Amino acid sequence: MATFKAIRIDKADKGTTAALTQFDEAELMDGDIAVAVEWSTLNYKDGLAVTGKAPVVRRFPMIAGIDFAGTVAQSSHPNWKPGDKVVCTGWGMGETHLGAYAEKARVKGDWLVRLPDGLSAREAMAIGTAGFTAMLAVLALEKHGLSPQAGPVVVTGAAGGVGSVATAVLAKLGYHVIASTGRMSEGDYLKALGAAEVIDRNELSAPAKPLGKERWAGGVDSVGSTTLANLLSMTKYGGAIAACGLAGGMDLPSSVAPFILRGVCLLGIDSVMCPLALRKNAWERLARDLDRAKLSEITHEIGLDQVIGMGSKILAGQVRGRIVVKIV
Average pLDDT over residues 317-328: 93
Q: Is the pLDDT of residue 1 over 60?
A: no
Q: What is the mean pLDDT of the chain?
A: 96
Task: Identify which has the larger pLDDT, 260 or 1.
Answer: 260
Q: Is the peptide bond before 55 cis (omega within 30 degrees of 0)?
A: no
Ordered by start, the domain boundaries in the chain are 3-115+298-326, 129-268
pLDDT in tens, 170-207: 999 999 999 999 999 999 999 999 999 999 999 999 99
Cα distance between residue 15 and residue 20, in whole Å: 17
Question: Helix, strand, or coil here: 9?
Answer: strand
pLDDT in tens, 33-89: 999 999 999 999 999 999 999 889 999 999 999 999 999 999 999 999 999 999 999
Q: What are the helix and strand counts (H, E) for the chain?
A: 9, 16
pLDDT band at 317 (very low <50, low <70, confident <90, very high): confident
pLDDT recorded at residue 227: 98
Helix (H) or strand (E) holding 163: helix 161-172
pLDDT in tens, 59-72: 999 999 999 999 99
Report the relative pairing of strands 153-155 and 177-181 from DSSP bridges: parallel
Q: Is the pLDDT of residue 288 over 60?
A: yes
Average pLDDT over residues 249-255: 96
Main-chain dihedrals φ then ψ at residue 250, nearest 5 degrees: -90, -10
pLDDT recorded at residue 277: 96
User: CATH assignment of 3-115+298-326, given 3.40.50.300, 3.90.180.10, 3.40.1010.20, 3.30.200.20?
Assistant: 3.90.180.10
pLDDT recorded at residue 107: 98
Average pLDDT over residues 299-307: 96
pTM above 0.85, yes or no: yes
User: CATH assignment of 129-268, given 2.60.40.10, 3.40.50.720, 1.10.1050.10, 3.40.50.150?
Assistant: 3.40.50.720
pLDDT in tens, 128-164: 999 999 999 999 999 999 999 999 999 999 999 999 9
- DSSP string for 244-308: ---TTBS-----SHHHHHS--EEEE---SS--HHHHHHHHHHHHHHS-HHHHHHTEEEEEGGGHH
Cα distance between residue 91 and residue 89, in whole Å: 7
pLDDT in tens, 97-122: 999 999 999 999 999 999 999 999 99
